[in-house]
Amino acid sequence: MGFIDTVRDVLAASNASPARGGAGDESAGAYWCHDCDERIRDVDAPGDGTPDCPACGDAMEFERSAASTGCAC
C-alpha cells in the first residue's frame, strides 16, 4: 500500500490550506472594475476607502474572495 499512502499524502498536502495567497495573507477579497476588468486585492489597495479604477477612474466594487462564503469568482 506504499503507493496509495504516497498519493494520499500528496493530496492531503495540496489541500492543506484553502488560502491561495502567500503565508500570512489576510485578504478578504478584491476590488473590481467590471467595465475595465481591473482588479486590486483589498490588502494591496491604497488608503482606507474604496479605490478608484486606475483605468477609468470610477469607484471599484468590493467582492469577497473564493475562500470566504460567497465566491467572488
Q: What residue ranges in the chain does DSSP mark as E strands? A: 29-33, 38-41, 61-64
Mean pLDDT confidence for 19-25: 54
Would 69 be classed as within a structural domain?
Answer: yes
The predicted model scores a pTM of 0.54
Would 56 be classed as within a structural domain?
Answer: yes
> pLDDT by residue (tens digit) across 32-70?
999 999 999 999 998 888 999 999 999 999 998 665 555
Q: How far is CA 16 from the centre of its chain?
A: 17
Domain that holds residue 50: 28-73
Would 54 be classed as within a structural domain?
Answer: yes
Say how many residues make up the chain: 73
Q: How many CB atoms neighbour CB 33 within 10 A?
A: 20
